Amino acid sequence: MTTGTHDLSSLLVARNQSVAEFGLTNIIPILQRELAAHNQIAMMLVSDLAETTMDRQRKYGVGSIADMIEADEYSRSPTQRSAPGDTVGFPLKRFQSAIGWTQDWFESKTPADMAIAVQSVERAHLRMITREVKRAFFLSSNYTWDDFLVDGVDLAVKRLVNADGASIPEGPNNEVFDGATHTHYIGEASLTAAFLNAAINDLVEHGHGNNVKIAVSTTDEAAVRALTGFVAYPDPRITYRSADNPAQTLDITRLNNRAIGIFGGAEVWVKSWMMANYIFIWDAGSPKPLVVRQRANGGMTGLRIAATNSAFPLYAQYMQADFGVGVWNRTNGVSYYFANATYANPTITS
């Protein structure tokens, strides 16, 4: 008896018979298990930046900011009114990709060909998640989302703190921030150590200091390494003296996704999804800056086979994902643009 579970590799090695011979009813369960594993991996990829939720909106901000008033024996201080926090909404979008074939393809192609087609959709799904995550924190303007997949209610989708007048929680040392002027979208004509330190402080002054990370693009890695105060992780391919004893060495397995050193107490990461001239700073040890909203119906979460459509000689299988990304913890993130003194929204297509 052979034990084990059929997975996508079972289809990839099935090259000696056609899809029709293997049987579509045999393929579908394998693809569904593959999609379940893929969805777990997809959420792990953004776990540093986002939590998953079925909420469509939450209250964010301060409940009240009160003052203590000096008094004497006969004084009676005025009552003070609490101000509710602001509502932040999370969008829910629909993304589709269809795999289509003719009856002749079905009878001549192998299950491996079907598996490869599904893998291409999975890659497209990952690219779309990455795009929506980047749009959530790099774009600076709030917007209204029509929740058309549920009931058409308008949701107020917010960005990171962006001087929109919304209330901002006090800092850990009783710092008070003016919601009409305080912003975490920072522009500067060039990358300097002073301004990067200031951007880190813009994050830390809100109490986010447990595990601060800086994400940079591969294009800007050399410029960040050249900043005064940057301490690089040593290369493990170099032999060090016993007195050097590096605490952490440089990851040499993937050049575009690794921690390369420390700057201003924050760990600097090169990320393949980062864009040139932009830096993103956040605290991975605080409540996440983003949420990935999914459908309240658990059977409709993640990438899934949504429908099939057969009209001889054509056949199509529709793969679909309903999700949206929005900012939740508005102070836990700083977007720093260093090609102009004024912040500019990037064009994000992938």
Tens-digit pLDDT profile for residues 249-305: 676 667 778 899 999 999 999 998 899 999 999 999 999 999 999 988 776 778 887
Tens digits of residue pLDDT in 128-142: 998 999 999 999 999
- Residue 1 pLDDT exceeds 50: no
Is 90 within 8 Å of 55 (Cβ atoms)? yes
Place of tokens 């060909």: 113
Q: What is the pLDDT of residue 137?
A: 93
Sign of CA dihedral 262, 264, 270, 273: positive
* Phi and psi, residue 37, nearest 5°: -65, -40
Q: What is the pLDDT of residue 317?
A: 75
Q: Which domains does the chain have, with CATH numbers?
A: 8-59+85-167+174-337 (3.90.1690)
Q: What is the pLDDT of residue 164?
A: 93
Is 152 within 8 Å of 144 (Cβ atoms)? no
Rounded Cα distance, 31 and 115, in Å: 8
Is 20 within 8 Å of 106 (Cβ atoms)? yes
The DSSP bridge partners found for residue 216 are 270
pTM above 0.85, yes or no: no
Provide the 3-class DSSP secondary structure of residue 125. Answer: helix
Range with lowest mean pLDDT among 195-199, 231-235, 242-246 = 242-246
Task: Characterize the bridge pairing of strands 257-263 and 304-311.
Answer: unpaired
Provide the 3-class DSSP secondary structure of residue 213. Answer: strand
Is 278 within 8 Å of 287 (Cβ atoms)? no
Rounded Cα distance, 183 and 331, in Å: 9
Is 130 within 8 Å of 43 (Cβ atoms)? no
